[in-house]
Chain A
């Protein structure tokens, strides 16, 4: 009963380093999302992929890139990490993109940038 799986669960980076956060879902969902969660704020959408082969910017895309590798996988890349990108990152998926279908979330990646 995996649902949405995110790796790694924790990561510490130095400023300027790059890394890729991985996400995979086994629910055959068409749409996938990346959010960041900061203290005192709600989840904010970074990028989403309404369907395989498409990606679009969300509310806070600067400093990030994404790849929809196939229907199951959607990765988030930080090319040059900055302390402001310290956050908890959540991947989510839903049956149909940007519709009213609820999103199912992974358990998050806790990222600290020093």
Chain B
């Protein structure tokens, strides 16, 4: 099965800093999703992207669908303690299943 390369694996940042993470694949995707998972809970959808080049925001979060359709990026501005968690990307090629990245673990230091 396909696995998406997500980086970085983990991040430790000060409260108030901006965060950037990305996801790459060897295949062209037609949909990218970004999820956040808190400890002991299931992933929660943050942003969905459906078109190459698309830039979509959800509060302090902004995600982009890469022009090559093989990558996506997530930025978090002015991080706060509740941003702590694991962020997953997921991509879909054609009408096939979604493939998930290995996650970026974010720690925000107050």
Query: Chain A residue with minimal CB distance to B35?
Result: A105
Q: Are A98 and B95 in contact (CB-based, < 8 A)?
A: yes
Shortest Cβ distance from residue B91 to the other chain A in the assembled complex, whole angstroms: 10
Chain A residues with CB under 8 A of B31: 100
Q: Are A41 and B44 in contact (CB-based, < 8 A)?
A: no
Shortest Cβ distance from residue A35 to the other chain B in the assembled complex, whole angstroms: 8
Complex: how many Å from CA A18 to CA B81? Answer: 41
Contacts A42-B4, A107-B41 given; does A98 touch B96 at CB 8 Å:
yes
Chain A residues with CB under 8 A of B48: 100, 102
Q: Are A44 and B43 in contact (CB-based, < 8 A)?
A: no
Q: Are B99 and A42 in contact (CB-based, < 8 A)?
A: yes
Chain A residues with CB under 8 A of B88: 42-43
Q: Are B97 and A4 in contact (CB-based, < 8 A)?
A: no
Complex: how many Å from CA A100 to CA B54? Answer: 15
Chain A residues with CB under 8 A of B100: 35, 42-44
Interface residues on B, range: 20 to 34
Which B8-43 residues sit within 8 Å CB-CB of chain A?
30-31, 33, 35, 40-43
Chain B residues with CB under 8 A of A105: 35, 42-44
Complex: how many Å from CA A78 to CA B88? Answer: 27
What 10 pairs across the A-B complex have the smallest Cβ distances? A42-B100, A105-B42, A100-B31, A59-B1, A43-B100, A102-B45, A107-B42, A105-B43, A42-B102, A98-B95
A interface residue numbers (CB < 8 A to B): 4, 35, 40-45, 48, 58-60, 90, 92, 98-100, 102-108
Q: Given contacts A41-B102, A44-B1, A102-B33, could you give 8 more A-B pairs where the C-beta distance is less than 8 Å? A: A4-B42, A42-B101, A42-B102, A59-B97, A60-B1, A92-B42, A100-B92, A105-B35
